């Protein structure tokens, strides 16, 4: 038995950084990992090809969030491999498993309107309230937000105005990826025009008489008609992409 354990320990010790990253990735593609860590596809290729011999602690932490494998194990091959979510049956819970997360929670902050622009801006119709932050565990993030450009780019924006009903209501929390700065496919985006902020569904549509595209800004509420804007408008800036929406209902 001891010789078998020694053999297993030797195999684990010989796993390269590339092997550990591949195991942690599972069925995720290199493109998924690049988006989740905010790294370039070329950097991810270097990890997988074995050209990279070590990882910075920040990068290993981003991989942990994206894969559920511990940063320490990914970086060094030592310690526990996976983030464990234990289940137990507590008296009085009728046999329902209770998830226990032993790692410290991740903090997703409220978006700072003045953040990267050096000045603030108005949010259309003024938010009815603010959610200051979310505290979530690694497993929740992995299951609910499998693809993002990096933990540091996630922020909470409070839904504002009636124009997007029934997709979300004023005051609903929206999880935004502020690492997305270009509209390359249809989705719900957080953006500003001048000093006014908006959250709208945006489609890319061909120009009427040219080879380029324009952006069609669409509200879900039919009382608000769509309008077009040029992606070259110097007053237009993408602040992020809305990844997930939690829509409230009153009972």
| Shared-domain flag, residues 116 and 216 | yes
In a domain, 94, yes or no: no
| Shared-domain flag, residues 230 and 110 | yes
In a domain, 67, yes or no: yes
85 backbone dihedrals φ, ψ, rounded to 5°: -115, 105
For residues 21 and 74, is the Cβ–Cβ distance under 8 A? yes
> What's the alpha-carbon Rg for the chain, to the nearest Å?
22
The rounded mean pLDDT for the chain is 79
| Shared-domain flag, residues 145 and 229 | yes
Q: Is the pLDDT of residue 39 over 50?
A: yes
In a domain, 95, yes or no: no
- CATH at 118: 2.10.109.10
| Shared-domain flag, residues 52 and 149 | no
Nearest to 199 by CA among 169, 172, 219: 219
Nearest to 168 by CA among 195, 188, 144, 197: 188
In a domain, 98, yes or no: no
For the chain, what percent of residues have pLDDT higher than 70?
79
Confidence band of 28 (pLDDT split at 50, 70, 90): confident
In a domain, 233, yes or no: yes
| Shared-domain flag, residues 235 and 113 | yes
**pLDDT at residue number 121:** 57
| Shared-domain flag, residues 114 and 227 | yes
In a domain, 160, yes or no: yes
Confidence band of 237 (pLDDT split at 50, 70, 90): very high
The residue from 58, 76, 94 where one domain ends is: 76
Give pLDDT tens digits for 195-232.
Answer: 888 899 999 999 878 788 999 999 999 999 999 999 99
Give the chain's length: 251
| Shared-domain flag, residues 120 and 233 | yes
| Shared-domain flag, residues 24 and 146 | no
pTM for this entry: 0.59
Domain that holds residue 56: 2-76
In a domain, 90, yes or no: no
| Shared-domain flag, residues 154 and 241 | yes
| Shared-domain flag, residues 116 and 230 | yes
- The packing angle between helices 30-37 and 57-67, to 10°, is 120
In total, how many domains does the chain have? 2
Give pLDDT tens digits for 139-163.
Answer: 888 888 888 888 889 999 887 778 8
| Shared-domain flag, residues 221 and 119 | yes
């Amino acid at each position: 038995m001891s010789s078998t354990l020694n053999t297993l320990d030797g195999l684990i010790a010989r796993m390269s950084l590339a092997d550990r990253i591949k195991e942690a990735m599972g069925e995720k593609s290199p493109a998924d990992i690049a988006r989740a860590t905010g790294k370039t596809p070329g950097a991810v290729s270097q990890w997988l090809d074995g050209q990279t011999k070590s990882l910075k602690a920040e990068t290993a932490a981003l991989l942990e969030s994206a894969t559920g494998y511990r940063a320490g194990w990914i970086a060094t091959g030592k310690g526990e491999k996976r983030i464990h979510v234990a289940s137990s049956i507590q008296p009085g819970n009728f046999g329902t498993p209770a998830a226990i997360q032993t790692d410290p929670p991740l903090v997703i902050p409220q978006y700072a309107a003045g953040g990267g622009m050096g000045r603030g801006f108005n949010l259309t119709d003024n938010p009815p309230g603010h959610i200051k932050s979310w505290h979530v565990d690694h497993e929740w993030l992995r299951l609910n937000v499998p693809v993002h450009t990096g933990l540091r780019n996630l922020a909470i924006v409070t839904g504002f105005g009636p124009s997007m009903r029934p997709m979300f209501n004023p005051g609903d929390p929206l999880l935004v990826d502020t690492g997305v700065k270009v509209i390359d496919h249809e989705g719900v985006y957080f953006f500003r025009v001048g000093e006014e902020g908006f959250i709208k569904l945006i489609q890319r549509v061909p120009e009427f008489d040219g080879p380029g595209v324009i952006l069609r800004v669409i509200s879900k509420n039919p009382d608000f008609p769509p309008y077009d804007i040029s992606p070259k408008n110097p007053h237009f800036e993408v602040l992020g992409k809305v990844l997930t929406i939690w829509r409230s209902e009153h009972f």
